[in-house]
Structure 1
Amino acid sequence: MAFTINTEGARLRTPKGQQHQNGSAKAPSPTSPTSSANEHPMGAPKHGPGMQALRIVCFGIYFFGSGIFIHFAQLLGSPLYFVSKDWFYAYMALTKQYFGLLVTTMTQWWSPTVVRISGDKSMKGLIKLKDNGGGNGMLEVDFGERVVLMSNHQIYTDWLYLWWIAYTSTPPMHGHLYIILKESLKWVPLIGPAMQFYSFIFMARKWSKDQQRLRYRLQKLNSRHSGPLSGTQGGVQLDPMWLLIFPEGTNLSANTRKSSAKFAEKSSIPDMKHQILPRSTGLQFCLQELKDTVPYLYDCTIAYEGIPPGDYGQDVFTLRSVYFQGRPPKSVNMHWRRFAIKDIPFNDHDAMYEWILQRWREKDELIGEFMRTGKFPADAEGVTDEGGKEEQRYINTEVKPRSPLEFLAMFTPVLGAALVGRVSVQMVDRLTGK
């Protein structure tokens, strides 16, 4: 599932086919990883059919079972909206933390892989691998409590790793992540209502309609509140917020690459080699609305090791191959940069488009270097490894919770309510002599 925004309208859809990542046509070949399940770039499945079936069952029970518990927890807290909106939003932030725990543990158990973090000089002191002893450090980022976060969109699971980054924040921000996503997801059973409780921003991909909706949501994120959500004791301040946007509007695929190439040709601008052209309208509007309350825009360039040249991550790293067959990426690579919002030309449409286009060309060069060497070019000041014996340019870690039992918190609201209900019924029975 991809949570994305396209503020320039729906992209052209083209017949499904394969292309090189530079946009040229590519015919399936006998050695293409997408031509045969047995010739996957990650090799043969780690698990046989029987184990795959067992993993599917266990995955379904854990993901959907936990999701039901989380959604029931949301429903239990919904009456708070009519009592105190501050308490309501604080409670929903708690349930959003539960979902962050769900995707974190789900990835750790079913799709463990190396996550390699790097950054440039603008990230100095903001990304650390804490030394917990025994070589079992925990990633810790210090991006602040109110940021706009943008990223390229490689495959459907990008949002999952970015949600985990919010989990590693100090203080943890996985309960305050807001994602801009397409409106059709609003009506997905169970997931759609849960995302509405999370105050995610749904977009119809028609800017004439989306502008007012986006302004309304951003104004609410700019509103000042008091109470537990804001972290104040009777005072009033802005709520924590990480706003996630994918300026490309959709993930990288053969169809979207072809659409990007057509748009580039029509606009007389050079196309990207390893991604699709970004749009600037949505990001520009977000920065205009949040400029007085958010100091920095954080940019993540994400890439997955193991995708052959000319193929696409969504075709190589499917749900089946990653979670059930035991063929995750060799590594998930994230390169971080930070930009002061005051230095971004968000009040000039043309200048803003040129600014984001330049950032994407830099990303294209970063991804090109990654494809040649297996790593992003990184600055020694970009990350800090407290357990490293010498200067490190990369942090190698994994998606994991702080405690192996932390996931149990997801079940406490519903189980607690069930226990209270049972005790209440027993007390009533005793009082009434039944």
Structure 2
Amino acid sequence: MADNTLRSRTTHSAVTNGPKDTTNGSPVAPKEEPHPAGEVKYGTFSQILRALLLLTWFNCGCVSINVTQFLGAPLYWWNKDYYYAYMALTKQSFGVVGIAGTRWFASTKVRVSWDKDLRGQFSKNKSGRLETSFPERLVYIANHQVYTEWLYLWWIAYTSRMHGHIFIILKESLKYVPVLGPGMMFYGFIFMARKWIQDKPRLQHRLEKLKTRHGGPMSGSQGLDPMWLLIFPEGTNLARNTKRKSREWAEKQAIPDMKHLLLPRSTGLFFCLQQLQGTVDWVYDCTIAYEGTPKGGFAPEYFTIRSTYLQGRPPKCVNMHWRRFAVSSIPLSDAKEFEAWLMERWREKDELLEQWYETGRFPADPDSADTGKGISKDGFIETEMTLNNWMEIGQIFVVLAAVALMVNVAVKAFGIFKVLK
């Protein structure tokens, strides 16, 4: 009886203390916080249709690329230089799949700014597309907020025509994903179990390959293959639970936590830079922010795959700020010194994000303003993530089409031979 009374009182209290309609005093549901990208643009049926179209495009592209990779795999035993060049072309194709899919289903503005040290490396072509002139070999790092971040960073490689030479460090479980897993292994991506005893020899093996000299058709100017090695030092994306763990770790280590980032992990990046010394001159750093994410909020809660690609609610603008650091200036002889160096760079990124949350802009380089190159008077570029030429889509299917044509000719020739016989 007492329990029932308590339940009744609790329920009554919850109802009477909630928000009320001012006209008749009845309770009303609390208003949902508006989405930063606005209302849902597509209804349920349209979302289902968009999902089917997106999956069809992505799956057809991936299967075509994967079959193309298997067809070219025997090149490894015939001529490794041709094999690596062939796989670089299939890697370009995957970049095209991602860029085209994002352009069709989640088109958004991209605002790019940079430090004065990078002046002259950004411009827009006559079609309004971003072009960058980054080195053919570099390590680039970035903060990690949403799962689709790698697409925007792959697109940056595309703007330097390096989208066939990107290498990404990923968690090991991804290599078991059908089609994608084997494809990423052909690409030479590096899979980590997050257990350093297991990861170190595997990472060392892959890095040795990345600094091996080749003489193939897509080799670089110094005999080293072009290489853009992408690393997310935070190890995972910024979310409510990962931020909590980062804060707990900061308290345990008695160091200040980041305001808008996770604390970086230095071990993997330190090892990579040590191993690649003499073959890489620069570390490029990208700080990414998504317009509409409130200060103290978490981008993955707003910009999910569904909201971005199906509901028509991508971020209104993806903001990127680029810096670079000479490898020769980075302390690579001592792990503790490197950890301190990386932590300092991350605190600088945290301040960059603080400025962005306060002003809506990263710092720019007004002295680089050049309307002829598409650089605004404030020193940044606004563009969109898209292909330079839509004919590039044909590259994805050209090998399969050629094989199908040859098989068709062979079958018909065999039929004619049988008739004549």
Match of 1:310 in 2: 296
Query: Where do residues 13-92 of structure 1 align in structure 2 (5 Å cutoff)?
Result: 30=30, 33=33, 39-92=34-87
> Does the C-alpha gap of structure 1 residues 76 and 391 become closer, same or farther in structure 2, counting only changes over 3 Å?
same
The separation in 1 between residues aligned to 2:376 and 2:232, in whole angstroms, is: 35
Residue 308 (structure 1) shift: 2.1
| Match status 1:184 vs 2:170 | no
1:316-364 CA-to-partner distances (Å, cap 9, x unmatched) read 1011110111101010000000110000002111110111101110111
Match of 1:414 in 2: 400
Q: Is the 8 A contact 1:222 1:238 kept in 2?
A: yes
Q: Is the 8 A contact 1:127 1:383 kept in 2?
A: no
Match of 1:276 in 2: 262
Match of 2:130 in 1: 139
User: Which of 145, 148, 153 is the aligned partner of 2:139?
Assistant: 148
1:86-127 CA-to-partner distances (Å, cap 9, x unmatched) read 111110000000000001101111011100000011111111
Match of 1:160 in 2: 151
Match of 1:15 in 2: none
- Name the SS for the 1:88 alignment partner: helix
- Name the SS for the 2:366 alignment partner: coil
Match of 2:101 in 1: 106
What TM-score do you get using the length of structure 2 for normalisation? 0.90
User: Which of 394, 400, 413 is the aligned partner of 2:386?
Assistant: 400
The number of residues matched between the two structures is: 392
- Name the SS for the 1:225 alignment partner: coil
The separation in 2 between residues aligned to 1:385 and 1:259, in whole angstroms, is: 46
Q: Is the 8 A contact 2:108 2:384 kept in 1?
A: yes
The separation in 1 between residues aligned to 2:66 and 2:394, in whole angstroms, is: 15
User: Which of 203, 207, 216 is the aligned partner of 1:227?
Assistant: 216
**Which is worse superposed, 374-383 or 75-84?**
374-383
| Match status 1:124 vs 2:124 | no
The separation in 2 between residues aligned to 1:374 and 1:424, in whole angstroms, is: 61
- Kindly name which structure, 1 or 2, has the bigger radius of gyration based on alpha carbons: 2
1:65-101 CA-to-partner distances (Å, cap 9, x unmatched) read 1111111111111111111111111100000000000
Unaligned runs of 5+ in 1: 1-28, 34-38
Identity of aligned residues (%): 52
Residue 310 (structure 1) shift: 3.3
Which residue identity is paired with 2:239?
A: S
> Does the C-alpha gap of structure 1 residues 321 and 390 become closer, same or farther in structure 2, counting only changes over 3 Å?
closer
Match of 2:314 in 1: 328
Match of 1:295 in 2: 281
Match of 1:285 in 2: 271
The separation in 1 between residues aligned to 2:147 and 2:185, in whole angstroms, is: 20
The separation in 1 between residues aligned to 2:275 and 2:89, in whole angstroms, is: 26
Unaligned runs of 5+ in 2: 1-28
The separation in 1 between residues aligned to 2:251 and 2:115, in whole angstroms, is: 32
Q: Is the 8 A contact 2:124 2:374 kept in 1?
A: no
What TM-score do you get using the length of structure 1 for normalisation? 0.87
The separation in 2 between residues aligned to 1:203 and 1:82, in whole angstroms, is: 27
Residue 315 (structure 1) shift: 1.2
> Does the C-alpha gap of structure 1 residues 405 and 203 become closer, same or farther in structure 2, counting only changes over 3 Å?
same
Match of 1:204 in 2: 193
The separation in 2 between residues aligned to 1:168 and 1:300, in whole angstroms, is: 15
Query: Where do residues 346-357 of structure 1 align in structure 2 (5 Å cutoff)?
Result: 346-357=332-343
Residue 421 (structure 1) shift: 1.0
Residue 179 (structure 1) shift: 0.2
Residue 430 (structure 1) shift: 1.9
- Name the SS for the 1:179 alignment partner: strand
Residue 268 (structure 1) shift: 0.9
Residue 370 (structure 1) shift: 0.7
Which residue identity is paired with 1:411?
A: F
> Does the C-alpha gap of structure 1 residues 113 and 315 become closer, same or farther in structure 2, counting only changes over 3 Å?
same
Q: Which has the higher contact order (CA 8 A, sep 6+)?
A: 1
> Does the C-alpha gap of structure 1 residues 162 and 267 become closer, same or farther in structure 2, counting only changes over 3 Å?
same
Match of 2:202 in 1: 213
